Amino acid sequence: MGLIEDAKRVAAEFEYPPDEVNKGVKAFIRQMDEGLQENGKSLHQIPTYVTAVPNGTEKGVYLAVDLGGTNFRVCSIKLNGDTTFSLTQSKVAIPRELMVAKTSQELFSFLAKQIESFLKIHHNDHFEEHHERRKAGEAMTDEHFFQLGFTFSFPVHQIGLNRGHLIRWTKGFDIKDTIGKDVCALLQSEIVALHLPVKVAALVNDTVGTLMARSYTSPGKTGTLLGAIFGTGTNGAYVEKLEKVTKLKKEKESGDYDASTGNMIINSEWGSFDNELSVLPNTEYDKALDKESNNVGVHLFEKRVSGMFLGEILRRVILGMVNNGKTQLFKDKSSGTNDIHSTTTIADDSPLYKQWGIDTSFLSAAHEDQSAGFRITRQALGRELGIDAASAEDAEAVKILVEAIGKRSARLSAVAIGAVIISTGNLTLTAGDAVDDKDQQVLEEEIVDIGVDGSLVEYYPGFEDYMREALREIEGIGAKGEKRIRIGIAKDGSGVGAALIALVAARKEGL
């Protein structure tokens, strides 16, 4: 068997046919319902206490802060009321010693001081007026305060719009004193200590922010149903009917929320879909990746979809072929069998031999390579992986593998999107809709709007096309339904989205 045939044989292991897509959708819907009924299920289905999405007419100035890793960002967002906004921001690195501080106060005091510095630079008039009122002993109401959305990208147990207890730190943070405490209250306490005109109005998940940002900026009058991240990680937040979120009634610490809308935005945490592997594809490469990960047996959907893992899957596939004595990948019997009259060599310290050695950007470059003799892929193999003098056949084989892994990721992504659309009943089809009329126009009120963010959906070649192909194969959507799905990029959920959630919180308080 030749090299290209070998590559196609391995690539076939990543095929995800229509019947498997539909099994996945049914299982996803079932796990969605289970997660709405009680905690501790594969899909966490976390109530966010946000009960409405914006429509683009909202106005005002709101603050947002984002603690998502080693940087802390402070933003001021002016909503213009016409689906547009203007944003001012500053960013500062978190000192390493504060990431492992002995007390919460050390970190949160630092964060409050960054907010103070931002206000002095960008909202000094408001800042000074507030201090003059305070000195004069004037009574102040919430109207005198900036409403702030706090994007906190660590596991929390959210029990209200601006209440959430830290479950555990990740991303290099380790402040034991913070575990179990309300992070919004910790930040508000330090803001109060500095006498700042700021109220922490909402605790924000960045995926929920993506949904809000898209709903504000999307064209047309249709509210956005789903905000989804397909990047380093993957997650989705969507608008659910409040009556289906039955576990809220069982929560002892359940916070207040506005029930008048009849809706609740749910943070699905769908990276953990089907951790029991009842329907997810499970190749030998998926098994090995999970076994050597630092969270074995969890986030199994994410490990097949997100950009953080696609490069590692490819690395294991390529290495498996290289170590297989029967395949000819990167093996030249002589320079005469290589189209550039040399022999392929793999450096001893090649990233091919190191876990996480291949970045997803390599897959993007190889996937879209249309150059003569796959020159771009061959250059990337040499530059990024230390594989010199790869032949055109080698590069073609790698491209076949890349396409299979990327396509499977996109088709799995369609399972999540399709399940949310069907479960929420936002795409009601009639018998006549089964016939695909290519010329029929889709009315605005028939649109199902979805906001997406992340490097895969924004930059990976053909990712949305592969998703849409799978959506057309889903029972209950089909070709006619897929045309009604509008997918648009929603940027800066942790900034603009957080500000919009602060706005929703202010409206709940009657501000």
Tell me if residue 232 falls in helix, strand or coil: coil
| Alpha helices, H only, 137-246 | 183-193, 206-217
CB 425 within 8 A of CB 203: no
Q: Which two tokens stand for residue 3?
A: 């090299």
The one-letter code for the residue type at 439 is: D
CB 471 within 8 A of CB 485: yes
Active centre residues (catalytic): 153, 168, 206
- Say if strands 387-388 and 345-346 run parallel, antiparallel, or are unpaired: antiparallel
Distance of CA 278 to the CA centre of its chain: 23
The CA-atom distances, in angstroms, between 432 and each of 157, 419, 428, 435 are 45, 22, 12, 6
To the nearest 10°, report the CA torsion of 113, 115, 117, 119: -140
Q: Which two tokens stand for residue 338?
A: 């290589």
The one-letter code for the residue type at 76 is: S
Q: Which two tokens stand for residue 448?
A: 């199902």
Q: Which two tokens stand for residue 178?
A: 């913070």
DSSP 182: B
CB 127 within 8 A of CB 119: yes
Q: What angle do CA 92, 69, 126 make, to 5 degrees?
A: 40
Strand partners, 235: 229
Sole residue written with tokens 């602060």: 502
Count of alpha carbons within 13 angstroms of residue 475, beta-carbon side: 10
Query: CA-CA distance, 497 to 510, in Å (whole number)?
Result: 20
Q: Using alpha carbons, select from 165, 170, 178, 179 the residue that is nearest to residue 251.
A: 165
The one-letter code for the residue type at 499 is: A
